[in-house]
Amino acid sequence: MSHGNTPEKRGDFHGGIHPEQNKLQSTMESSAQARMPAKLVLPLHQHIGAAAEPIIKIGERVLKGQKIASADGYVSAPVHAPTSGKIIDIADYPIPHPSGLSARSIVIETDGCDKWIEYKPEQDYTETNPSHLRNIIREAGVVGLGGAGFPSFIKLNPGSQKKIKTLILNGVECEPYITCDDMLMREEPQSIIAGARIMRHALQADACVIAIEDNKPQAYESICKAAEGIDGLRVALMPTRYPQGSEKQLIQVITGKEVPSNGLAVSIGVVCHNVSTAAAIYRAIHLGQPLVSRMVTITGAAVKRPRNLEVLFGTPIEELLEQCDVESEQIERLVMGGPMMGFALHDTSLPVIKTTNCIIAATRKELGLDRPVMPCIRCGACADVCPVKLLPQQLYWHSRAKEFDKAQAYDLFDCIECGCCSYVCPSNIPLVQFYRFAKGAIWTQEQEQKKSDQARERHEFRQMRVEREKLERAAKRAKKKAPRPKKAAPVDGAKMAEKMRDEAMSQRDSAVDARKAEIQAAVARVQARKKGTATKPDQAADAAAAVTPPKGDVDKKDGSSAAKDSNEQVQ
Amino acid sequence: MLTSILALSALALVFGLILGFAAIRFKVEGDPLVEQIDAQLPQTQCGQCGFPGCRPYAEAIAAEEAQINQCPPGGEATIHALADLLDLEPLPLNPENGAESAKTVAFIDEQTCIGCTLCIQACPVDAILGAAKQMHTIIESECTGCDLCLPPCPVDCIEMIEIKKDMLTWKWPYPQESPPDSRPDSRLEASA
């Protein structure tokens, strides 16, 4: 291990800003355990990916740490009961999301015992297969606690093709106000270091770097102390700058390498995790405890006693505010996340979820609400601070005019929505909101395009089929009619005989046709295979079907073709 | 004099051959404009434009027999896309063709369905599954919300349900520039 008090300088990123820190308020006192609420509301979708599926029934009693919803698909995470109690509801409840929508949630009535389910720590992780470790982490419901909530086990899978050179633990916490990682690093450095070692083992990474900004000297000291003497572990102290904690920017600073546009960090041999995720992984492996709580910063000028609380998921935000002596009438806006990238909440009764790192109860004075939005004066300040070296002004014009292809040509999707451009804009234009709108609109368009292409294909196929059926029917009718005019007035018996003969003929014909078509299809398949092109067996089958009249409809009149249509439908 | 006539004739012959060859070799089947217009249409095949499907409407637009503002499911977005493509002025949606409404999918009340297969024959995208005297059901992911299955149903057991907005389909709205009320990136000024 090597560390010194000189700031690290490897790479650098463009732009960035130095907003007012406002971190001191919430670090005045040490963290505390939040009070147990009477009721916990646990949304099933607290992470990126598919929502979890409930595996318990209403009325069932659950213990702390018991799995109550399991992951649905690969990119998903299970949900565990944060305390012991009774399941009282599984229904739609409002969730902390910018949309203000409701989503399926499990409600637990707490019993106050906080009784843990029996859990089993992993004896020695170094003896354990990394894949098994990932499974434990997945089952423990660990997701990225930095704010995005991406299931952690996926980011601990290096894949077969690439060697992971560096594991970066992100303790930068560059957004103003938020101090939950800072507090965790001060108070639980051992858990973080232990988690880092597990992650390194899971990834088989060469080195591990813990990145901390120089506005957190206590956290730095504490982590350095805990990391003393561990081989291949380095603690990097970096000058404070926003948005240094953004994954791609941090990787650029630490390794000097730039993550390619549309690429992932893994592609350049780097994996980045948050420090609190490391602590959660330590608890999952060393203690066998699933993720049921997290550190949340409660701050903002409307809060008299801002501090960090260890909060059970599902706890209503209003209870936390109360514990921090909130002046409710002072709250102009409640923000989840930081002031730069967070979003406004519509209600104080919303629950804390896995991605809630900070709650800001902001006063009117604190928010710059009175500054009017003015027209763009083309000063270019936004381009100077953009950490991705985009042209925010061009993106703004095109997003605003809904010229989405042009916005994409200016690499809209490389925008990390850090908010630097909005921060420096002298005209107070909500630039990031325009980019978010444009991104959403483009995604919607793409989905609609996909759906309409599919509909077109199905429609064209249907038309082809209807046409084919019409031709077949016409052909059959012609065949049936043709021999009839030969006899002028056949007696009943003769009529029957003729009909039977016709049927026999047509059946034989159709049998011969079917046989021919089968042979043709087989020849076509063989030829296609020889060419080495991928064969399409369904096309060959279609060709055969086109020649073969459907069986059993020789006698049918047009009027009764409905049933046949529907039979075809089912195919 | 003669040389120049010969040279020019030779050139004309060579270029003529090249052009003639290109005309055969790179012949475009069908009308590419119709394809391009068809690609912009929402493919609901609903017929609200007055044509029996999206492609006939695309053909009519290409032949300048129809306006670009007759597609209610596509709405403003489609009109803008067509205006861009054809270099025309965007027009407001023609109210005679209907109004732009929220996206819907059909739903069959399975208790009431008598299994007559009439809706199956009406569905332009084969999104209804069923057989004679068997209960029918909608394949939701394939349904375009065209309403064409509603009129033939003899027992009125099909209804159109608005697609619910959830977290996955929700998108950020167009920002209001003033007042900047719900700015998520609202700055917090120095305090304390």
Same domain, A144 and A234: yes
Does the structure show a pLDDT above 80 at A258?
yes
Based on the fold, state whether residues A285 and A404 are members of the same structural domain. no
Does residue A461 form part of some domain? no
* Residue A73 shares a structural domain with residue A203: yes
**In the structure encoding, which two tokens stand for residue B81, read together?**
């896309």
In A, minimum Cα distance to B53 occurs at: A459
Would you state the pLDDT for residue A310?
Answer: 95
The answer, yes or no, to whether residue A388 has pLDDT greater than 60, is: yes
Q: Are residues A404 and A358 in the same domain?
A: no
Structure tokens given for A213: 């900004």
CB atoms within 10 A of CB A464: 12
Q: Do B131 and A101 touch (CB under 8 A)?
A: no
Q: For A103, list phi and psi in degrees, rounded to 5.
A: -150, 165
CA distance B55 to B58: 5
* Structure token digits, residue A490: 């056949």
Q: Which amino acid is at A389?
A: K
Cβ separation of A459 and B53 shorter than 8 Å?
A: yes
A341 to chain B: which residues are within 8 Å by CB? 184-185
Q: Give the minimum alpha-carbon distance from B5 to chain A in angstroms, rounded to a whole number.
A: 51
The CB-side HSE value for A32 (13 A sphere, CA atoms) comes to 13
A28 in the same domain as A86: yes
Q: What share of chain A is helix, strand, coil (3-state, %, to 5)?
A: 40, 15, 40
The residue whose two tokens read 């929505």 is A417
User: Does pLDDT of A97 surpass 60?
Assistant: yes
CB neighbour list of residue B17: distance below 8 Å, 6 or more residues apart? none
Residues 7-66 of B with CB under 8 A from A: 38, 41-45, 53-54
Instruction: Check residue A485 and give its pLDDT.
Output: 55
Nearest to A567 among B127, B131, B170 (CB): B131
Same domain as A385, residue A361: no
Q: pLDDT at position A531, please?
A: 63
Q: Over the stretch A459-474, which tens digit does the pLDDT of each residue have?
A: 999 999 999 999 999 9
Give residue A192's pLDDT. 95
Residue B69 CB neighbours (<10 A): 23
Reading the block at residue A412, the tokens are 């809209």
Percentage, residues of chain A above pLDDT 90: 63
Identify whether A211 is part of a domain.
yes
Q: Please give the share of chain A, as a percent, with pLDDT higher than 70.
A: 84
Residue A511 lies in a domain: no
User: What tokens does A334 get?
Assistant: 């409640």
Q: Over 90: is that where the pLDDT of A57 sits?
A: yes
**Residue type at A262 in one-letter notation:** N
| pLDDT greater at residue A504 or residue A253 | A253
The conformation of residue A484, written as its DSSP 8-state character, comes to G
Greater pLDDT, A370 or B36 = B36
Report chain B's mean pLDDT, rounded to a whole number: 85
> How many domains does the structure of chain A reveal?
2
From A312, A331, A365, give the residue that closes a domain: A365
Domains of chain B, each with CATH number or no CATH: 33-98 (1.10.15.40), 102-166 (3.30.70.20)
Task: Count Cβ atoms below 10 Å from residue B121 Cβ, excluding itself.
Answer: 17
The residue ranking higher by pLDDT, A506 or A31, is A31
Residues A281 and A408 in one domain: no
What is the Cα A102 distance to its own chain's centre?
18
CB A549 within 8 A of CB B111: no
Residue B1: CB atoms within 10 A of its CB come to 5
Residue contact A458–B44, C-beta within 8 A: no
| Domain presence at residue A472 | no
A269 within a domain of the structure (yes/no): yes
Average pLDDT over residues A68-93: 94
The pLDDT tens digits for A163-198 are 889 999 999 999 999 999 999 999 999 999 999 999
Contact B175 A445 (CB under 8 A): no
Distance from CA of A339 to the nearest CA of B (A): 6
Q: What pLDDT score was predicted for residue A8?
A: 43
- B161-180: per-residue pLDDT in tens? 988 877 778 889 898 765 44
Q: Give yes or no: residues A354 and A390 share one domain.
A: no
Do A306 and A337 share a domain, yes or no? Answer: yes
Tokens of B25: 């070799």
The whole-angstrom distance between B23's CA and the closest CA on chain A is 29
Whether A328 and A430 share a structural domain: no
| pLDDT (mean) for A65-89 | 94
> pLDDT (tens digit, 9 = 90+) per residue, B67-106?
899 999 888 888 988 998 888 888 888 888 888 888 889 9
Smallest CA–CA separation between B19 and chain A, in Å? 33
Task: Judge contact between A95 and A101, C-beta under 8 A.
Answer: yes
Residue range(s) defining the domain that contains residue A91: 24-112+133-365
Query: Which residue in A267, A248, A266 sits closest to A172, CA to CA?
Result: A248
User: Residue A123 domain-assigned?
Assistant: no
Hey, what are A137's tokens? 């982490």
Question: CATH no. for residue A288?
Answer: 3.40.50.11540
Q: Residue A484: which pLDDT band, with cuts at 50, 70 and 90?
A: low
Q: Kindly give, in sequence order, each residue whose CB lies less than 8 Å from that of residue A567, ignoring residues fewer than 6 positions away.
A: B131, B132
- In angstroms, the Cα distances linking B98 to A217, B70, B93 are 65, 8, 8
Give the integer Cα–Cα distance in Å for B129 and A545. 21
Higher pLDDT, B181 or A475: A475
Does A430 reside within a domain?
yes
Q: What pLDDT is attached to residue A211?
A: 95
Q: What is the mean pLDDT of residues B38-46?
A: 88
Same structural domain, A361 and A388 = no
pLDDT of residue B29: 77
Tokens standing for residue A176: 């103003």
**Average pLDDT in the A109-113 region?**
92
SS3 A213: strand
Lowest-confidence segment of A5-14, A144-153, A214-223, A389-398 by average pLDDT: A5-14
d(CA A125, CA A286): 8
The closest of A113, A302, A560, A532 to B121, measured between CA atoms, is: A560
Chain A residues lying within 8 Å of B44, measured CB to CB: 455
Mean pLDDT across the stretch A26-39? Answer: 92
Tell me how far apart the alpha carbons of residues A194 and A191 are, in angstroms, rounded to a whole number: 5
Asked if residue A544 belongs to a domain, the reply is: no
CB atoms within 10 A of CB B192: 10
A367/B166 CB distance under 8 A? no
Phi, psi of B101 (to 5 degrees): -130, 175
Same domain as A417, residue A343: no
